[in-house]
């Protein structure tokens, strides 16, 4: 957002009668888009093509019920007014609330189950991601919130997945998919996000006839098996990439935007970082599935349709 160009859009609305349903829908839609409320029925956004489109969409909806609406373009007439307008978009209080909720959650982490921990964390992560998406003037408060979320994800993994691999430091070699067919792949048992998504990726995009071995002791990996997502494995965390992302790069699958987007979700849930809105819900479903399925192959089979659906949804969004 270029704050050096003090141009703004103002939406002035007036809905007839007591149309509270529409009034609430308009308010929620504009809030989700990041619009600031100046007074009842008056909203402001920085002037952009997206802002114009958002205001026009709501204007059409209001006119359809015989309401009145005006969209005005204007410039701030002073630095003071410009700063006052920008201040309307300050999300600091929201971020502070999320951090406080995370602190309470952290204190309870040692006393609750994994499913309970993820159930509590899910709405915090979802709400924080929605706020960050609507934050048109992000700054240090958003960075602090994202750091707190990353620390929370790290604490969650340390509590319930303490054997996550440490990142190695080496170049990711390019591999040919044709050279990795009908192979046996091995990873740690009681698979979690990175391992189950990597196994899905292998079976769907790399080696359709792959067989998997779930290791209680990584030292007992079959000699011919390809290891993934454990220390010393052929495919594991490298620098800032988690195993799923390493596989994408290794096999040239990182050009698929839907897979790359799925990689961002896996990355956040495995090591933290930039929040992904659907990550908390996905983790909650995974935690429930893992509680039901004690067999790793059965768990992979049960979550495969969900991952297939998520991938297709990402493809439709492209």
CATH number at 7-87: 3.30.70.240
Considering the chain, tell me which residue range(s) the CATH 3.30.70.240 domain(s) occupy. Answer: 7-87
Question: For 275-305, how does the pLDDT look when each residue is reduced to its tens digit (9 = 90+)?
Answer: 787 888 898 889 889 889 999 999 999 999 9
Res 3 pLDDT > 60: no
Residue 165 pLDDT: 84
Cβ–Cβ < 8 Å for 189, 216: yes
Res 271 pLDDT > 90: no
Question: The sheet that has 211-215: what strands, in order across it?
Answer: 211-215, 184-188, 226-227
Question: CB 156: neighbour CB atoms within 10 A?
Answer: 20
CA distance 196 to 203: 11
Q: The pTM is what?
A: 0.70
Residue 19 pLDDT: 74
Quickly tell me which residue has 């149309």 as its tokens.
19
Question: For 95-111, how does the pLDDT look when each residue is reduced to its tens digit (9 = 90+)?
Answer: 999 999 999 999 999 99
């Amino acid at each position: 957002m270029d704050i050096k160009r003090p141009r703004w859009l103002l939406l002035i609305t007036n809905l007839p009668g007591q149309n509270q349903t529409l009034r609430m829908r308009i308010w929620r839609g504009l809030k989700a888009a990041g619009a600031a409320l100046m007074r009842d029925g008056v909203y402001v956004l920085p002037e952009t093509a997206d802002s114009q489109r958002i205001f026009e969409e709501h204007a059409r909806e209001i006119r359809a019920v015989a309401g009145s609406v005006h969209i005005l373009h204007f410039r701030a007439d002073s630095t003071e007014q410009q700063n006052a307008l920008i201040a309307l978009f300050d999300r600091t209080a929201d971020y502070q609330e999320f951090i406080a909720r995370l602190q309470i959650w952290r204190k309870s982490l040692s006393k609750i189950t994994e499913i309970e921990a993820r159930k509590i964390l899910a709405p915090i992560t979802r709400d924080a991601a929605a706020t960050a998406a609507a934050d048109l003037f992000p700054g240090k408060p958003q960075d602090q919130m994202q750091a707190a979320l990353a620390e929370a994800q790290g604490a969650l993994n340390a509590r319930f997945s303490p054997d996550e691999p440490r990142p190695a430091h080496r170049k990711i070699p390019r591999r040919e998919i044709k050279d990795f067919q009908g192979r046996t792949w091995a990873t740690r048992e009681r698979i979690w996000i990175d391992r189950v998504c990597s196994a899905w990726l292998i079976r769907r995009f790399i080696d359709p006839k792959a067989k998997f071995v779930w290791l209680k002791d990584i030292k007992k990996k079959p000699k011919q098996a390809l290891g993934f997502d454990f220390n010393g494995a052929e495919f594991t965390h490298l620098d800032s990439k988690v195993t799923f992302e390493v596989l994408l790069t290794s096999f040239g699958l990182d050009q698929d935007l839907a897979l790359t987007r799925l990689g961002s979700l896996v990355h956040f849930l495995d090591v933290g970082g930039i929040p992904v809105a659907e990550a908390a819900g996905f983790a909650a479903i995974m935690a429930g599935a893992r509680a039901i399925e004690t067999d790793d192959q059965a768990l992979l089979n049960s979550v495969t349709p969900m991952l297939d659906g998520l991938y297709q949804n990402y493809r439709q969004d492209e």
